[in-house]
Amino acid sequence: MPVTDRDRWDARYRGGIPQQRPCATLTAHLHLLPARGRALDLACGLGANARVLAAAGLDTEAWDVSPVAIGRLQALAAAEGLRITATACDLLETPPAPQSFDVIVVAYFFERALLPALAAALRPGGLLFYETFTQRSAHGPSNPDWKLADNELPSALPGLRLRYYRDEQDAGDPALGLRGIAGYIGQRPA
């Protein structure tokens, strides 16, 4: 039997990947979240971002290919008294439906072919928060196709209005600042 992505991620989560932190692109911009609505943490892992969204009062779903991660997330959410609908699914086979979410967060998962479906999955006025490795980073996936090119997200999501972008690349003193990671927030026009 071939080893699938799901098998690989299950093994990592079974091996005890520690709790992950919510991404700074979300936590630094909580004031942009709507007061209510439907939110999705995509490729959620242990759902650090889903737990922030649920705590902010949003009806929150969390999707990941790894049933082991989803099980761990359900236990964490129950212990914290948070209501999150967590589902094991392969996003490449079942991307979110058009106009189905007010907020989508994607952290440290990048699949270029999925970007149009993510933009389409936002309701009018909806927000996409994205944070992941750039091709400049020594960390993250070894395949450069799974990392962002310079300034990629604003140009790859022309239907969204840019609300925030940070990608410092090699400008100035590379020992300072936030290097190798880009953060993006886009909004679907109302």
Binding site for ligand SAM (CB under 6 A): 5, 9, 20, 43-45, 48, 64-66, 69, 90-92, 107-109
Distance of CA 108 to the CA centre of its chain: 6
CB of 172 to ligand SAM, least distance (A): 27
Query: Which CB, 36 or 92, lies closer to ligand SAM?
Result: 92
Query: Which CB, 48 or 104, lies closer to ligand SAM?
Result: 48
Q: Where are the alpha helices (DSSP H) in 56-161?
A: 67-80, 115-121, 152-156
Query: Which CB, 17 or 149, lies closer to ligand SAM?
Result: 17
**3-state SS, residue 59:** strand
Q: Which residues pair with 132 in a beta bridge?
A: 182
Residue whose structure tokens are 């919510």: 22
CB of 147 to ligand SAM, least distance (A): 12
CB of 171 to ligand SAM, least distance (A): 25
Which residue has the CB atom at the shortest distance from ligand SAM?
A: 45
CB of 92 to ligand SAM, least distance (A): 5
CB of 52 to ligand SAM, least distance (A): 11
Query: Which CB, 65 or 76, lies closer to ligand SAM?
Result: 65
* Backbone CA torsion sign across 28, 128, 137, 13: positive
Tokens representing residue 30 in the block: 């909580």
Q: Residue 35: phi, psi to the nearest 5?
A: -70, -30
How far is the C-alpha of 120 from the C-alpha of 99, rounded, in Å?
A: 6
Query: Which CB, 107 or 119, lies closer to ligand SAM?
Result: 107
